[in-house]
């Protein structure tokens, strides 16, 4: 028996490169302001704060510390941080609300991939003793996964190209998408190979971003004065797989499958899937058992903007926006982390009065 | 809506050393995990989720090491969360693990915190210049020395109080086979004779830099009932508070975040007079003077009076409020694990399993951690009995 919790506010920025070198505080202040405008709430209505970010992306230790300044945290707040995509910060916050110790939470994430060479930075996620010294980079690892899928017949190049074309076409109307515009599968296949068998458009653009979300229990004291829309969380699960690539079948996503089964995916009409590579959407769709009648990534998805440590939370936010707008009755959002879909999270939500 | 009861049923830690060259990160973690699982009489099959914590990734040079560690943690197929809240992380990690049980989501959660600082260079990791932020480049001791100086000025404490703490904690460490520093000859006089590093902090008043890990198994009331564990450490309350690093109105000697967190903790645990109702406390004291400072911040003493408890010997194992029976952070400091070590030692005390540094008859204990520029706080109260209020 879980406590009824709704997503009631979401705000984000994503771009190829933040102008200048803004601090976390500068990124987050206007985003928080948008949440106050959406919900009519203020800082005092928030019971718990949780963020997701990465020191390695920032190139420094304790990078999340100064982000607390954006809250205006005197008087002090109850606050925590995960070194993961902010989708997992949302999970920690949701758990905290489930304990009954708090009633509402503001969750945020931020990351500036453009400050370094992302594919090399991510190679530091591998086994430090045996793999990292080989500098196995993130794009090449994804290419190995795509190759495994192609050679097994799990999917083919034209299906991958269809994913790219649909994403970029859908993103044309998304102001914050980085790579976008009406595109056909033929346009995609005409591109040269980048990391065989991946073309550049098969890989998410390197992106900077920040985002924030407010969730609340139905019995929160300030619930009555909320002016925003609500997307009620119906399932929230995540699972991890082995780090060693040779100890899992890269063509499938067992952790997505089990997280989806536990969260309950039946009846969803929309899915925002965090697939930074085109073939990964095909693997995820299969793992979740989504039919062709389920709309996938109407925002354009991660192939059109993939701000590290917020892209997963963005999927949840984009799905919530569809529910708020009445364009989805029951939506699924997914976040991934680690090389070749190692760790996956599934959240389901529904429209309800 | 009330939360469900949770208890620590297993505690395991590594031997802490300056350099654990005999094990990889995975091996270090398994040393703690295997001990905790044995203590809890469980196997990985019994564990529903894993929560791992450590301080900055730059301390070891691995980005999000929980990804590579997934197999060693027994995590594949399960949920895995990675917490990072600076120096308070060990405490925050245990609290997140407890909340998974308190929320009714899981029956048994494994939580582990570690630091293997010898794999990289912590001083370097802390010295990367940050745009728009004034560099300190003084190390933690240089950062905290003015706080200590300010405390001495405000409280009128005699200048040997810090040495009393250091001598006590190093003597306590001799009773703890896992402690890093084992210096049998440390006395107040020898501490006062050690080199001044960051006035008024002397060399022997500082913590070491350690490799180490600690793991806890946290279980629901039902899971405890079904087990053979007769002495669980029931969690009576958990609190976390944060405030900004710099703000004109911040009191860095007696931070409001710590005062708010402890006030909420005592209320949650049904404690009206901490010094009378808490039997012992593991408090995060990386520099000796933080013992009297935190005694005040936590409400064990009125502002300005914390040092009097220390001077009177009341913080020794046989005193009125024993502090850092294990030897504390002053004797072992694997940074990311240090907070959970405090939480774990508090649990060991109320379980009656603290060995030679056991406080006789301890029924309620405090575990405490802080981090950043004295701005992040995490704490819990554990008890030998279920909460009665």
Span B293-350, pLDDT tens digits: 999 999 999 999 999 999 999 999 999 999 999 999 999 999 999 999 999 999 999 9
The rounded mean pLDDT for chain A is: 96
pLDDT of residue A1: 65
- Judge whether A197 and A150 are in contact, CB under 8 Å: yes
| Nearest chain B residue to A4, by CA | B1
Q: What is the model's pTM?
A: 0.98
Min Cα separation B131/chain A (Å): 8
Min Cα separation A99/chain B (Å): 4
Q: How far apart are CA B63 and CA A122, in angstroms?
A: 7
Rounded average pLDDT over A114-136: 95
pLDDT of residue A20: 77
Backbone angles phi, psi at B198, to 5 degrees: -130, 95
pLDDT bin (cut points 50, 70, 90) of residue B137 is low
Chain centroid to CA A241: 18
Q: How far apart are CA A259 and CA B194, in angstroms?
A: 56
- Domain A5-116+206-225 maps to which CATH number in 3.40.1350.10, 3.40.190.10, 1.20.1250.20, 3.40.47.10? 3.40.47.10
Can you give the residue ranges of every domain in chain A?
Answer: 5-116+206-225, 118-202, 234-350
Look up residue B60 and give its two tokens. Answer: 């070891």
pLDDT of residue A143: 98
Determine which of A86, A101, A102, A347 to mutate to test the interface with B (most B C-beta atoms within 10 Å): A101
Q: Is the pLDDT of residue B138 over 90?
A: no
pLDDT bin (cut points 50, 70, 90) of residue B127 is confident
pLDDT of residue B66: 98
ipTM of the shown complex: 0.97
Task: Find the radius of gyration of the CA atoms of chain A.
Answer: 19
Q: Residue A133: which residues within 8 A CB-CB, separation 6 or more?
A: none
Nearest to B242 among A77, A82, A254 (CB): A77
pLDDT bin (cut points 50, 70, 90) of residue B33 is very high
Percent with pLDDT over 90 in chain B: 91
Stretch among B60-74, B114-128, B219-233 having the lowest mean pLDDT: B114-128
- In angstroms, the Cα distances linking B378 to A108, A296, B27, B36, B96 are 20, 41, 27, 22, 11
Task: Find the radius of gyration of the CA atoms of chain B.
Answer: 19
pLDDT of residue B136: 62
Task: Say if A342 is an interface residue toward chain B (CB within 8 Å).
Answer: yes
| Nearest chain A residue to B75, by CA | A240
pLDDT of residue B62: 96
Min Cα separation B168/chain A (Å): 32
Rounded average pLDDT over B354-367: 98
pLDDT of residue A257: 98
Q: Which 83-122 residues of chain A touch chain B by CB within 8 A?
A: 83-84, 88, 91-92, 95-96, 98-101, 121-122
| Nearest chain B residue to A76, by CA | B243
Rounded average pLDDT over B50-71: 96
pLDDT of residue B132: 62
Determine which of A20, A79, A244 to mutate to test the interface with B (most B C-beta atoms within 10 Å): A79
| Parallel, antiparallel or unpaired: strands B364-371 and B280-282 | parallel
Record: contact B80-A55, CB cut-off 8 A: no
pLDDT digits (tens, 9 = 90+) for B195-206: 999 999 999 999
| Nearest chain A residue to B120, by CA | A128
Q: Is the pLDDT of residue B123 over 80?
A: no
Q: How far apart are CA A185 and CA B84, in angstroms?
A: 42
Q: Residue A314: which residues within 8 A CB-CB, separation 6 or more?
A: A12, A14, A209, A211, A299, A305, A307
Determine which of B54, B66, B70, B84 to mutate to test the interface with A (most A C-beta atoms within 10 Å): B84
pLDDT of residue A177: 96
pLDDT digits (tens, 9 = 90+) for B255-290: 999 999 999 999 999 999 999 999 999 999 999 999
Residue B41, number of CB atoms within 10 A of its CB:
13
Residue B249, number of CB atoms within 10 A of its CB:
6
pLDDT of residue B175: 98
Rounded average pLDDT over B352-356: 98
pLDDT of residue B15: 98
pLDDT of residue B242: 97
Q: How far apart are CA A7 and CA B328, in angstroms?
A: 42
Segments in chain B forming alpha helices (H): 25-40, 89-102, 122-125, 139-155, 161-173, 188-193, 221-226, 256-268, 274-277, 290-297, 306-311, 328-331, 335-351
Residues of chain B in contact with residue A61, where contact means CB-CB under 8 angstroms, are: 55-59, 125-126, 128
Instruction: Give strand pairing partners of B214.
Output: B13, B113
The rounded mean pLDDT for chain B is: 96
CA end-to-end span of chain B:
15
The angle formed by the CA atoms of residues A66, A71 and A73, to the nearest 5 degrees, is 85
Determine which of A73, A218, A253 to mutate to test the interface with B (most B C-beta atoms within 10 Å): A73
Q: How far apart are CA B378 and CA B268, in angstroms?
A: 14
Q: Residue B200: which residues within 8 A CB-CB, separation 6 or more?
A: B145, B148, B149, B152, B159, B162, B289
pLDDT digits (tens, 9 = 90+) for A288-321: 999 999 999 999 999 999 999 999 999 999 999 9
Min Cα separation A107/chain B (Å): 14
Rounded average pLDDT over A157-166: 98
Record: contact A343-B67, CB cut-off 8 A: yes
Q: Which CATH class is domain A234-350?
A: alpha beta
Q: Is the pLDDT of residue A194 over 80?
A: yes
Q: Is the pLDDT of residue B93 over 80?
A: yes
**Shared fold status for A5-116+206-225 and A234-350:** yes
pLDDT of residue B122: 80
Record: contact B79-A54, CB cut-off 8 A: no
| Nearest chain A residue to B257, by CA | A76
Q: How far apart are CA B12 and CA A322, in angstroms?
A: 47
Q: How many CB pairs under 8 A join A and B?
A: 195
Rounded average pLDDT over A342-353: 94
Record: contact A82-B84, CB cut-off 8 A: yes
pLDDT digits (tens, 9 = 90+) for A196-243: 999 999 999 999 999 999 999 999 999 999 998 999 999 999 999 999
Record: contact A55-B56, CB cut-off 8 A: yes
């Amino acid at each position: 028996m879980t406590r009824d919790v709704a997503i009631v506010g979401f705000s984000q920025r994503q771009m190829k490169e933040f102008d200048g070198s803004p601090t976390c505080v500068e990124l987050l202040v206007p985003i928080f302001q948008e949440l106050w405008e959406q919900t009519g709430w203020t800082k005092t209505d928030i019971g718990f704060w949780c963020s997701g970010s990465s020191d390695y992306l920032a190139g420094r230790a304790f990078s999340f510390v100064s982000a607390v300044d954006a809250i205006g945290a005197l008087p002090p707040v109850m606050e925590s941080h995960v070194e993961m995509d902010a989708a997992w910060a949302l999970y920690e916050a949701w758990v905290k609300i489930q304990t009954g110790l708090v009633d509402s939470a503001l969750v945020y994430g931020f990351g500036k991939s453009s400050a370094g060479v992302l594919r090399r930075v991510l190679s530091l996620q591998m086994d430090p003793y045996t793999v990292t010294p080989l500098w196995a980079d993130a794009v090449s690892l994804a290419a190995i996964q795509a190759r495994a899928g192609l050679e097994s017949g799990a999917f083919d190049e034209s299906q991958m190209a269809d994913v790219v074309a649909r994403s970029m076409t859908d993103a044309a109307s998304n102001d914050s998408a980085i790579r976008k515009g009406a595109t056909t599968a033929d346009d995609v296949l005409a591109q040269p190979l980048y990391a065989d068998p991946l073309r550049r458009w098969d890989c998410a653009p390197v992106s900077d971003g920040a985002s924030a979300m407010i969730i609340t229990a139905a019995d929160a004291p300030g619930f009555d004065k909320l002016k925003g829309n609500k997307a009620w969380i119906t399932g929230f699960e995540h699972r991890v797989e082995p780090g060693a690539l040779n100890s899992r079948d890269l063509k499938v996503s067992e952790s997505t499958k089990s997280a989806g089964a536990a969260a309950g995916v039946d009846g969803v009409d929309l899915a925002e899937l965090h697939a930074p590579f085109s073939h990964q959407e095909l693997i995820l769709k299969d793992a979740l058992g989504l039919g062709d009648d389920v709309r996938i990534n109407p925002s354009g998805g991660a192939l059109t903007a993939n701000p590290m440590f917020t892209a997963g939370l963005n999927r949840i936010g984009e799905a919530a926006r569809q529910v708020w707008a009445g364009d989805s009755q029951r939506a699924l959002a997914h976040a991934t982390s680690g090389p070749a879909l190692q760790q996956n999270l599934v959240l389901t939500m529904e429209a309800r009065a | 809506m009330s939360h469900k009861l949770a208890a620590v049923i297993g505690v395991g830690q590594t031997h802490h050393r300056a350099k654990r060259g005999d094990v990889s990160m995975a091996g270090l973690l398994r040393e703690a995990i295997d001990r905790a699982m044995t203590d809890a009489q469980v196997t990985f099959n019994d564990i529903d989720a894993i929560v791992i914590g450590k301080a900055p990734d730059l301390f070891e040079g691995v980005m999000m090491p929980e990804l590579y560690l997934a197999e060693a943690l027994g995590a594949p197929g399960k949920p895995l969360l990675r917490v990072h809240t600076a120096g308070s992380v060990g405490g925050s990690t245990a609290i997140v693990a407890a909340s998974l049980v308190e929320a009714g989501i899981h029956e048994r959660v494994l939580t582990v915190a570690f630091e293997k600082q010898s794999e990289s260079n912590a001083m370097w990791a802390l010295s990367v210049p940050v745009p728009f932020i004034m560099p300190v480049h003084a190390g933690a001791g240089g950062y905290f020395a003015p706080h200590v100086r300010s405390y001495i000025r405000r409280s009128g404490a005699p200048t040997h109080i810090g040495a009393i703490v250091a001598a006590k904690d190093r003597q306590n460490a001799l009773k703890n086979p896992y402690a890093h520093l084992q210096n049998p000859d440390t006395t107040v006089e020898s501490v006062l004779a050690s080199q001044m590093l960051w006035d008024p902090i002397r060399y022997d008043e500082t913590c070491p830099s350690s490799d180490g890990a600690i793991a806890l198994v946290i279980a629901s009331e039902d899971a405890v009932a079904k087990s053979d564990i007769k002495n669980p450490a029931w969690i009576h309350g958990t609190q976390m508070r944060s405030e900004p690093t710099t703000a004109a109105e911040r009191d860095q000697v007696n931070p409001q975040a710590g005062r708010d967190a402890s006030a909420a903790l005592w209320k949650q645990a049904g404690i009206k007079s901490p010094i009378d109702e808490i039997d012992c406390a593991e408090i995060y004291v990386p520099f000796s003077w933080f013992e009297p400072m935190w005694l005040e911040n936590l409400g064990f003493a009125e502002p300005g009076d914390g040092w009097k408890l220390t001077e009177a010997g009341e913080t020794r194992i046989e005193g009125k409020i024993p502090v850092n029976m294990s030897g504390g952070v002053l004797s072992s400091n694997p940074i990311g694990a240090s907070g959970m070590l405090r939480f774990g030692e508090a649990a060991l005390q109320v379980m009656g399993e603290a060995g030679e540094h056991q406080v006789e008859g301890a029924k309620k204990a405090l575990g405490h951690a802080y981090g950043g520029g004295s701005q992040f706080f995490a704490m819990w109260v554990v008890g030998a009995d279920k909460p009665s209020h």
